[in-house]
Amino acid sequence: MQNRRIVLSQRPSGMADVSTTSLELRERPVCGAGEALIKVGLLSIDPTIRTWMNDAPGYLAPIAIGDVIRSGGAGVVVESHSDRYAIGDVVIGMTGWQEWAIASAENRFSVVPRGLGLDLATVMNVLGTTGLTAYFGLMDVGLFRPGDVVVVSGAGGATGSVVGQIARAKGAGKVVGIAGGPEKCAEVVELYGFDECLDYRAAHLGRRLRAACPEGVDLYFDNVGGEILDAVLANIAMNSRIVLCGAISQYNSLETSKGIAHTPMLIMRRGRMQGFIVFDFASRYGEAQVELAAMVHAGTLAHQEHLVHGLEHALDAMNHLFTGANHGKTLVVVDESVRLDG
């Protein structure tokens, strides 16, 4: 009746390492009135977790030293004193990096409906925060319009790959990815169907971007920030929309960023740059999930889940998001027995 969990032992400076977290053995948490006990099956490994490790203002409070690493995840309800959860329900929410979690009034989980016909990893990827972030970022923040020339950074990543495919399905004029290395770029074109993919590690990104988008970029979905954001800003079309979703190029950075020099282009081109967090759209997740599930069933939304087995590998799995070693959505398998039926 124990709970293995990974806690923050020390705030990282730059890339997190062995001194950042430690694996603890604790008592299994007790499920009180109005609560449910969840056996954790999968963890969603997202770049934003790295930002919560800093003692810096964010959209959520920093993880406290000694606390379990905050993380999305999925599990199965094994005990319930709440009308919201039945034993056997598969639920998604903030599990943290641990084997057992408690659903409570402060930490609500959503129950995955039965009969989706998708496996749990796919649900966590495409119907979870990854797919939802792609959908609402593109459609609601980016105000996507058919015909738009859309550029997506982190195009081989979990969110970016979905953004490009939704844009394609909805009639983008052109979909251009930005990713690291020729192998990733090939995957973005061949697997995810982008029209083109630019390798940011090669020289003259700005010039190649101009060649790919001679009329300028109408909509840019930014997962990386920094120099790539600056290069796109220098190439925006009139009335362009820049969606700030993430800034992974900055999360492990020790130096002060070189900064964005091309903000005056927003004046010249009447551009708009807007940041968002998917949680802001929580009341509307359903509409996006219906559409995304339909695309998966129709075979028009390619997706990959990169499964890492063992809670103890969660930190390495997170670090791989920043080196580009991951393909698709990274999930840590804590307990293989947690599954969706048919």
Q: Footprint of a second copy on this chain (CB under 8 A)?
A: 57-59, 225, 229-230, 244-247, 250, 256-261, 263-277, 280
Q: Label residues 139-170 b or e (16+ Cβ within 10 Å = b).
A: bbbbebeeebbbbbbbbbbbbbbbbbbbbbee
Q: How far is the CB of 262 from a second copy (least distance, A)?
A: 9
Q: How far is the CB of 237 from a second copy (least distance, A)?
A: 12
DSSP 75-134: EEEEEE-STT--TT-EEEEE--SBSEEEE-SSS--EEPPTT--S-HHHIIIIISHHHHHH
Which CB sits closer to a second copy, 76 or 248? 248
72 token code pair: 């999305």
Taking the complex as a whole, the smallest distance from the CB of residue 221 to a second copy amounts, in Å, to 13
Least Å from the CB of residue 246 to a second copy: 7
Nearer to a second copy by Cβ, of 14 and 32: the residue is 14
**Amino acid letter at 19?**
S
For residue 200, which amino acid is it? Answer: Y
Output 109 or 251, the one with its CB closest to a second copy. Answer: 251
Nearer to a second copy, 237 or 307 (CB): 237
Nearer to a second copy, 209 or 265 (CB): 265
* Least gap, CB of 288 to a second copy (angstroms): 18
φ, ψ for residue 205 (rounded to 5)?
-55, -45
**Using CA atoms, how far apart are residues 240 and 233, in angstroms rounded to an integer?**
9
Rg (CA), the chain: 20
Element at 298 (helix H, strand E): helix 285-298
Helix (H) or strand (E) holding 229: helix 226-233
Nearer of residues 75 and 216 to a second copy, judged by Cβ: 216
> Using the 8-state DSSP alphabet, how is residue 329 labeled?
E
Cβ at position 34, least distance to a second copy in Å? 30
CB 320 within 8 A of CB 326: yes
> How far is 9 from 53, CA to CA, in rounded Å?
10
Closer residue to a second copy, CB minimum distance, 269 or 313: 269
Q: Which three-class secondary structure state does DSSP give residue 49?
A: helix
In this structure, the chain runs to a length of: 342
Least separation, in Å, of the C-beta of 18 and a second copy? 27
Token digits for 225? 């920030």
Report the residue number, 51 or 122, with the smaller CB distance to a second copy. Answer: 51
In the complex, minimum distance from the CB of residue 266 to a second copy, in angstroms, rounded to a whole number: 3
